[in-house]
Structure 1
Amino acid sequence: MQLQHTLLAGAALSALASFSFAQTAAAPTTTQALPTVTVTAAPFNASEGDQILAPAKVLTGDELSNKLGNSLGDTLSQELGVSASAFGAGASRPIIRGLEGSRVKILQNGMGAADVSTLSNDHAVGVGGPTAQQIEILRGPAALLYGSGAIGGLVNVINDRIPTTLEPQPTGMVELRHGTADKSGTASVSVDGSAGNIGLHLDGSVQDARNYRIPDDRVRDDPSSGSGRLPGSYSGEKDIGVGASLIGTWGHVGASVSQLDKLYGIPTDEGASIDLKQTRYDVDALVNNPFGVFEAFKFKLGYTDYKHTEINGEGEPETDFKNRALESRWELRHREVAGWRGSIGLQTEQSKFSALSAEDGSPGTVPVTKSTSTAAFIVEERDLGPVRLNAGLRVENVKRRPEDGSADRSFNLTSYSVGGLWPFTPGYGLGATFSVAQRAPTTEELYSNGPHEATETFDIGNADFKKETSHNVELSLQKTTGLVRWKVNVFQNQVKDFIYGQLTGNTLDEDGVAGGDFNERVFGQADATIRGTEAEVSYNRHGEGLSLRGFADTSRGSLDDGGGSLPLQPATRVGGDIGFKSGPWRTGASVIHANAQDRLAASETRTPSYTQLDANLSYVQRFNGSDITWFLLARNLTNEDIRLSTSVLKDQVPLPGRNFVVGMRTRF
């Protein structure tokens, strides 16, 4: 750990020193205003650099387009404190500060994704990527607004399918791209318009990627395992959404419907695949100045009908996973009262999950289970002299009711947070947050008892599990103005009754008898601690001319009883970007180095270090009043054999080799 701290401190101090020198040498005669992006998932819609509850990162515009991958995890994998589960090209969830699955909540336009990606790493996130206009990352326990599932953080994908403003004329975006490593093609379109006081929206995308090329042997140091293209790494996706809303000075009310179809391979020896279909209906309403001291009333309603079928290597359906979920959010934001401003709200969710045999409908790994959740929350903020204070409370009840006769469970959860931000001198801020967040065990953690073909595991849960309780302390120091900006975050998260899956080393057949092809994975519960540090410094990040960025992050999760490291922990990373903008031209390069991961859970293997080099070049052309951007992206330029310590399949599934992506996008 001492080496990691030295590495982080050296990187941060060296970058600060060099960038301070660059700022002095450049001596700009004017202060350049950098763009401010609103974080919609934050309690008070604050800007990216003004978060108290949790540090935030927002991807939008060209930055989002340049980082767009085949999955949400791939798109976000190089952000500060974020890694990816990397289960092939089709399924990859973000991992935030070493926490994954149900501890990282995925939202779409502020509402839960309601897929089953938390169940297993081979399950894709039910949110389309190419039409996203903004992706928000909130690290740390953001459970107060969005539920106990956000104990590790949340990701909010914004596609604005329900319009909130009237466009005087049609506006939109069209993008086409082609990748060489996987012979992929992507086309996406988004259009907004209006008819009187009715706002209209349409978006759609098509993705098709074949098996991607890998740099070396499929299985590390095993030439007999094959090379070239990785079998089962193909993916295809179709996503379409339409929405409309009535908009006036009083607010808006609207609805949308979307359909997501996805087919992707599982890059294991079995040659399985997953066919995913999801239909989603959303309602969104805002009423300004509804009554009394309240300045806004917000209401959201979402219904998701999700299904995916796991297909074996012979093309036969094995298991049907289904989840039907209805979620509602009611929120009232009030004006300042006794110096406090904030919101109170109510959130409900009902879902029915099943994983049944495609052949006879019998229960598979997890029984049919109905879940309900009801929560009330309050988040308040006030200025006390120069210090901005924030406090919040969430109380929630979660019920699990399996239909196979297993024990029903009910969990009462209480989460709260207090924090402050002190701008001790103009442009600099010191922040501190203490929070307690509780999480109910998921359906699979409680009731699993059967084989999972795609992961080659026989999962065994425990219906007697207790709720998790996380105590998180975070300190941050940041500079948020000027050409040189930086931030440092230090955190410690102590989790009582942490639930984790661990391979026992035993093998079972599909009936649970010893000697089969499935690796026994037993869910256990013990106290754990996750601690880490993050640092980032940038020079002229979004301005014309030269821009620079350096960053480093490290985290370590371990069991408190001496049981070793938590599974699938991210490696320590150091990286940097350099860019240059001049008129219509944009170019840049980035490098990220990850240390070898030697801190292992039982049955895990060492992950070697790697260095990834990427680059980009674009030209903006003005044509008939619209901007057309022609771009070239180069990923993994050195063709490095990259394996992520956060991937279950790291020993047999490397990331893609050298890849060139060429394309164009236009905004009108």
Structure 2
Amino acid sequence: MNIQRTLLASAILSAYSSLAFGQAVVPQVVVTANPFGNTANDQILAPAKVLAGDELRDKAGSSLGETLSQELGVSASAFGAGASRPIIRGLEGARVKMLENGMAVSDVSGLSNDHAVAAEGAVAQQIEILRGPAALLYGSGAIGGLVNVVNERIPTALEPRLTGQLEARGSTVDNGRNLSGTLDGAVDKLAWHIDGNLRNAGDYKIPGNRVFNDPDSASGRLPHSDTRSRTGGFGGSYIDSWGFIGASVSRLSNVYGIPSDEGSKIDQKQTRYDLDSLVKTPFAGFETFKFKAGYTDYKHAEIGEDGLPEVLFKNHALETRFELTHQPVAGWHGTLGVQTENTNFSALSAEGGPDTVPVTHSTSNAAFVVEETDFGPVKFNAGGRVERVKREPVTGVNRSFNLQSASFGGLWPFVPGYALGATFSYAQRAPSTEELYSHGPHDATVTFDIGNADFRKETSRNIEVTLQKTTGLVRWKANVFRNKVSDFIYGHITGKLLDEEGHPGDELRERIFEQADATIQGAEAELEYNPTGAGWSGRVFADTTRGKLERGGSLPLQPATRVGASTAYKMGAWRAGLSLVHAQSQDRLASFETSATPSYNQLNANLSYTQKAGAYDLTWFLLAKNLTNDEIRVSTSVLKDIAPLPGRNIVFGVRAKF
């Protein structure tokens, strides 16, 4: 592993920062998933990245994974254009929680890489990446961290006038077209919000041949990489001096291709209902009371080449959250609460064959607390969570798990503008339904999945140390972390081939879920110059992670070590930028993985101009992705050998704000 080289690079970048002069005025972006409503710059014990404004619009892709793939410590599963989920520090799936406005998305994207996240980034106001003690508020599925998509469908403030945004963009690599918009207004004390998104894209162009190291394989466009998405949402709130209460409803329809040899498609649909409320000073000693509830009706069909469904996935989920933030007591300020989840999940055969996962009823009841205080100059943060999870399949053995999680950390500003911090966490995760009860074909991944109802709960012990420069035109941070996980669950491709019934055949690869102790460790460093001010700005970063099984060998689908640099210029109506990410070759393979991924360079650029047109701010923009048309195969993709990322792509469009 290249941790030593990464730390050396960080030290060199730190030395460079001492050459900078002056102070930058940095806008404060509130992290909504944080219990204390702290700003992004305060997230030292729970390291956060907040994408918002122009930065979010420049990085926006057709999936959440693509949008976040160049953030520090974040990679993507890259299962074609339609399905790409964020991977945080080498942890993916059920270990990274997906939220929408602070509530679980409740899709099935954590089950398999071919399942898209049912949250639309095109209408998001901001996207948050959060780790550390605050993540304990959101469940055992946040061992690796969480991603929160904030679209403000339930308004929390009264707009003084009608406001909105409409954006149209096109892309050359896939003949893509995207139209998205939001509209907010208020009548007396009633606030309302509307948003929507339409996306159509064909199969995308690839730089070389489809199959790695096979010059005789197809070229030109990647078959079955097309996408079609429709989303819409409406919400309203009653807002007064005491707080607010509101509700929203949204609908998502998403059809996308799976660029495997089988050429499957996924037809995904979700209807979501949410309730949100906040009461200020509900009673003596408490600052706020929050209540949230969400009901999700999710389903998708995996469709074969003949156009007929093969497997039907369904998930009906009801989640509630109660949170009380208390006033400081003996110097401690914090939030305590209760969370419940009730789900019915299934993955049933549509062809009369064996079911992939039987109908399973799951419940989760949890209580949590997160507190912060100051011990002299040291800022201290701690959290704890207890949870009971039950899994009750219609066929099979019922299981229940008692989970405990805790985290604490401290931050010491040893000299003005510089800080040293450390975080320790202990977290447990119950095996997911598919890890326990799978026993059937999963055609989109070309596997026959076999779970184990006797699995034990996962237990993670993590330590992280961070060093930061937090003021001035030049700011930087460096993190090192080590995560030991007992009874880590992963899918093992055995090499056996089975038919749809699970008998010896030649259609599907046998994938058995197994448990073993594992260690994930790594390092990250990032330096930014004038990130939000006018004139020139810049960023350099590096990250590396390594996941190993204690009994020998690597964890599957590990991220490559990366270094990157970007520069931008902003003055008046003009804004321009250029970024380059270099990923090293990745040959740290699991025992059943057959090929390493080569190194690649990804060069992106952006140019925009904003003008006034009456009451509108019109922004004309041009984005270029993979300018050098490099062949990019990411090590975290199950399809890395047969599905490279898109080639050179020019994105053009206009955005109107009023």
How would you bin the TM-score normalised by the shorter chain? over 0.9
CA displacement 1:384-424 (0-9 Å, x = unmatched) = 111111111100000000001x1100000000111111112
Structure 2 matches for 1:319-398, cutoff 5 A? 319-360=311-352, 364-398=355-389
Structure 2 matches for 1:247-646, cutoff 5 A? 247-360=239-352, 364-404=355-395, 406-562=396-552, 564-604=553-593, 605-646=595-636
Aligned 8 A contact 2:475 2:529 in 1: yes
**Distance in 2, Cα, partners of 1:117 & 1:225:** 30
Q: CA deviation at 1:515?
A: 2.8
- Given candidates 37, 52, 56, the residue that maps to 1:60 is 52
Aligned 8 A contact 2:132 2:407 in 1: no
Counterpart for residue 16 of structure 1: 14
CA displacement 1:477-500 (0-9 Å, x = unmatched) = 111111000001111100011111
CA displacement 1:562-620 (0-9 Å, x = unmatched) = 2x000100010000110111111111100000111111001212111111100010111
Counterpart for residue 104 of structure 2: 112
Aligned 8 A contact 1:142 1:154 in 2: no
Counterpart for residue 188 of structure 1: 180
Aligned 8 A contact 1:643 1:654 in 2: yes
**Distance in 2, Cα, partners of 1:163 & 1:504:** 50
Q: CA deviation at 1:165?
A: 0.3
**Distance in 2, Cα, partners of 1:142 & 1:200:** 29
* Unmatched runs of 5 consecutive residues or more in structure 2: none
CA RMSD, 1 decimal:
1.2
Q: CA deviation at 1:52?
A: 4.2
**Secondary structure of the residue that 1:225 maps to in structure 2?**
coil
**Secondary structure of the residue that 2:40 maps to in structure 1?**
coil
Out of 412-421 and 36-45, give the one that drifted further.
Answer: 36-45
Q: CA deviation at 1:467?
A: 0.2
**Distance in 2, Cα, partners of 1:272 & 1:445:** 23
**Distance in 1, Cα, partners of 2:505 & 2:311:** 23
Aligned 8 A contact 1:11 1:551 in 2: no
Structure 2 matches for 1:91-240, cutoff 5 A? 91-140=83-132, 142-240=134-232
- Given candidates 82, 85, 90, the residue that maps to 2:82 is 90
Out of 47-56 and 487-496, give the one that drifted further.
Answer: 47-56
**Distance in 2, Cα, partners of 1:131 & 1:291:** 36
Structure 2 matches for 1:67-82, cutoff 5 A? 67-82=59-74
Aligned 8 A contact 1:509 1:516 in 2: yes
- Given candidates 18, 28, 33, the residue that maps to 1:41 is 33
- The letter for the 2-side match of 1:398 is V
**Distance in 2, Cα, partners of 1:363 & 1:512:** 9
CA displacement 1:77-129 (0-9 Å, x = unmatched) = 00000000000000010000000000000000000000011111101111112
- The letter for the 1-side match of 2:458 is E
**Distance in 2, Cα, partners of 1:175 & 1:19:** 38
Q: CA deviation at 1:623?
A: 1.7
- The letter for the 2-side match of 1:126 is A
**Secondary structure of the residue that 1:144 maps to in structure 2?**
helix
Aligned 8 A contact 2:311 2:442 in 1: no
- The letter for the 2-side match of 1:288 is K
**Distance in 2, Cα, partners of 1:253 & 1:10:** 51
**Distance in 1, Cα, partners of 2:126 & 2:169:** 19
Q: CA deviation at 1:43?
A: 2.5
**Secondary structure of the residue that 2:221 maps to in structure 1?**
coil
CA 411–106 in structure 1, closer or farther in 2 if over 3 Å, else same = same
**Distance in 1, Cα, partners of 2:424 & 2:17:** 32
**Distance in 2, Cα, partners of 1:489 & 1:635:** 28
**Distance in 1, Cα, partners of 2:564 & 2:558:** 18
**Distance in 2, Cα, partners of 1:586 & 1:261:** 34
* Percent identical residues: 63
Q: CA deviation at 1:7?
A: 3.2
Q: CA deviation at 1:270?
A: 1.2
* Unmatched runs of 5 consecutive residues or more in structure 1: none
CA displacement 1:229-262 (0-9 Å, x = unmatched) = 1000000101000000000000000000000000
- Across the two proteins, how many residue pairs are aligned to each other? 657
**Distance in 2, Cα, partners of 1:574 & 1:390:** 31
**Distance in 2, Cα, partners of 1:141 & 1:459:** 34
